[in-house]
Amino acid sequence: MVKQLSAWLLVLSSGAVSAASVVEQINQNAHMGVATCASSVCHGSSQQFKESNVWQNEFARWQEYDPHANKALQALRSAEGQAMARKLGLGDATQAKVCLDCHADNPPADKRGERFQASDGVGCEACHGGAEQWLTSHADKGVPHADNVAKGLYPTDDPVKRAELCLSCHMGTADRMITHRIMGAGHPRLSFELDTFTWLPEVTHYEIDEDYIARKGDFNGVRDWGIGQGVAAANLLDTLTDPRHGWDGIFPELVLFDCHACHKRMDSKRWAARPGTGLGPGVVRLNDANLVMFRHVLAAVDASAASRIGTMTRGLHQATTQSRDATAAAARSLSAEIRRLLPRLAEASWGGDSLMPILDSLLADGERGEFVDYASAEQAAMAASSVIVAFETAKAIDAAKAEQLRARVDAVYERVKDENAYQMGAFVNALRELRRAAAQG
Ligand code: HEC
Ligand code: HEC
Ligand code: HEC
Ligand code: HEC
């Protein structure tokens, strides 16, 4: 009686908690490794077996044609995959959990059998579930499919379950999250349709015949198409409302929105780090052009205050990836610091000796890669120009020199004339020329 009651309570409590996720189901039991399935009397035959319910050449087909075997993990080794992981600060892509979760069969260490090999890519058990408990029984024709499923065989025949499985990698879920940051580092956009993808010849190692229908019921493409759409829609809404994944700092997770609402073209892939922000790819940045220029002007008056503003600006950028509260706190203290420093600028003499520190500060930012954004380059061009004009007006430099410098400023401006043709390298070169001319006595 007690035993029955506790079993009943267990059922109740597991029902109250939401059902196990795909990844939990797949990783419920140990993964025995593709080698375990690949024997020629199991799934590694070179020919289809005539007398069997299943082809038994699944391994051979998988190995030869299936991108899950021969491309998924390779993508992480490729120059493209390696560059992506580097930009995200993940190190080697083939060791990064977030990448391996979708590009390989990646169960936790204690769920890996002796013959399991991480190098197998998206192997059999990434879709069919860890085989520890059903390995023996699933080869016995007398054991019904449902019994194997109860032992952890993933029900790939059930269209809802199959949609959840495929979409966990082909769209991303709370357990296997693909983010706008990963997209920003150059990851291809994901798109998936259950019925089409189930039957693309490179992945099929199954067919619907009489014995299949007897064992598992019929397939219907229209049904699967509809179910695939429904599961994907619910998945998007669940992620959007998931407090862990629906937000990225002060912004909603942008991967859940229509890419073309913001991107007119999707092929730019020009992201490069901007050290002054400390932010990775795919992060929406605050417009800090004025903050940056204030720091350069300040360099002529108080170098250590300028570097403090730089540190606080970086802190503000970081805060936007944390929370609204952190952002508000960082913004308030930075604003107070600027107001505290303004009188210093008002009191300074701004003689000829202030010219070089400002140009040096601008150029140092340029050399560090700070002007990857068009907006900050445009501000820098205006700053360079006002500095030269101001010194000329104040007669801090003579007319001949002023004319020479104005030609250099024009060259700087030329580099920001067309936003779509902007190139940081050329812009920084023009700044360098301006600084060199100014430095000549
Ligand atoms: C949510 C699952 C998911 C995550 C997380 C993920 N990927 Fe992918 N990735 C995919 C899928 C699915 C494709 C295939 C897209 C297609 O062509 O339909 C792909 C494609 C790629 C490609 C292009 C491969 C080719 O053959 O053209 C590269 C490179 C890549 N991913 C690298 C990475 C790296 C590096 C990471 C980690 C930073 C990563 N991926 C994280 C699912 C994922
Ligand atoms: C990307 C996911 C995926 C991978 C990887 C995968 N399968 Fe499958 N497999 C499926 C789907 C989907 C079906 C068809 C639906 C069903 O009946 O379960 C299927 C069907 C089968 C069937 C036929 C089942 C039947 O009752 O007729 C066998 C046998 C099989 N897979 C073996 C393997 C083996 C062996 C491997 C590894 C070499 C493998 N699969 C890798 C998804 C996968
Ligand atoms: C563990 C993650 C994972 C699971 C689960 C998974 N896939 Fe994939 N799939 C991938 C990755 C990664 C690629 C990309 C391989 C490449 O081209 O680099 C891919 C590629 C494919 C392709 C080739 C697509 C193309 O654009 O060329 C098809 C078709 C496909 N998967 C179908 C399915 C189906 C159907 C399911 C569910 C039964 C499924 N996949 C489950 C990770 C997965
Ligand atoms: C709300 C606006 C918004 C949406 C929606 C959005 N993005 Fe972005 N995306 C941005 C911003 C802003 C950046 C720039 C971040 C930076 O400059 O570092 C960016 C950067 C990128 C980059 C890097 C661009 C480059 O030049 O290297 C890629 C790639 C990208 N997004 C892909 C996508 C994809 C794919 C989607 C849809 C799944 C998407 N974005 C949705 C705003 C958006």
- Which ligand minimizes its atom distance to the CA of 228? 3
pTM summary value:
0.85
The reported pLDDT for the residue numbered 14 is: 41
The reported pLDDT for the residue numbered 141 is: 86
Nearest residue by C-alpha to atom 43 in ligand 3:
169
192 lines ligand 3 (CB under 6 A): no
Nearest ligand 1 atom, CA 78: 29
Nearest residue by C-alpha to atom 15 in ligand 3:
72
The reported pLDDT for the residue numbered 441 is: 63
156 lines ligand 2 (CB under 6 A): yes
Nearest ligand 1 atom, CA 176: 1
Residues ≥6 apart with Cβ < 8 Å to 136? none
Tokens of 428: 């920084």
Tokens of 340: 């505290």
Nearest ligand 3 atom, CA 67: 15
Q: Kindly list the distances between the CA atom of residue 397 and the CA atoms of 234, 351, 355, in Å, as whole numbers in the listed order.
A: 67, 10, 10
Nearest residue by C-alpha to atom 19 in ligand 3:
68
Residues ≥6 apart with Cβ < 8 Å to 438? 355, 356, 359, 388, 405, 408
Per-residue pLDDT of the chain (441 residues; tens, 9 = 90+): 344 444 444 444 443 345 799 999 999 999 999 999 999 889 999 888 888 889 999 999 999 999 999 999 999 999 999 999 999 999 999 999 999 999 999 999 999 999 999 999 999 999 999 999 999 999 998 999 999 999 999 999 999 999 999 999 999 999 999 999 999 999 998 988 998 899 999 999 999 899 899 888 888 888 898 899 989 988 988 898 898 999 999 999 999 888 887 887 766 667 888 888 889 888 888 888 778 888 988 998 999 999 999 999 999 999 999 999 999 999 999 999 999 998 888 888 877 778 888 899 999 999 999 898 787 788 888 878 877 877 777 777 788 888 899 999 999 999 999 888 899 999 999 999 999 998 886
The reported pLDDT for the residue numbered 353 is: 79
The reported pLDDT for the residue numbered 18 is: 52
279 lines ligand 2 (CB under 6 A): no
Buried b (16+ CB within 10 A) or exposed e, 161-197: bbbbbbbbbbbbbeebbbbbbbbbbbbeeeeeebbeb
- Which ligand minimizes its atom distance to the CA of 52? 2
Ordered by start, the domain boundaries in the chain are 21-262, 289-439
180 lines ligand 2 (CB under 6 A): no
434 near 405, Cβ under 8 Å?
yes
Which DSSP state fits 163?
A: H
337 near 316, Cβ under 8 Å?
no
Nearest residue by C-alpha to atom 30 in ligand 2:
58
The reported pLDDT for the residue numbered 266 is: 67
Give the Cα separation of 196 and 204 in Å (integer): 11
**Could you tell me the distance, in angstroms and rounded to a whole number, from the CA of residue 283 to the centre of ligand 1?**
19
The reported pLDDT for the residue numbered 1 is: 38
Nearest residue by C-alpha to atom 23 in ligand 1:
75
**Could you tell me the distance, in angstroms and rounded to a whole number, from the CA of residue 188 to the centre of ligand 1?**
7
Q: Angle of helix 374-393 relative to helix 424-439, nearest 10 degrees? A: 20
End-to-end CA distance of the chain: 99
The reported pLDDT for the residue numbered 393 is: 76
DSSP SS3 for 138? helix
The reported pLDDT for the residue numbered 2 is: 42
Cα-Cα-Cα-Cα dihedral sign, residues 295, 301, 304, 305: negative
Number of residues in the chain: 441
The reported pLDDT for the residue numbered 389 is: 78
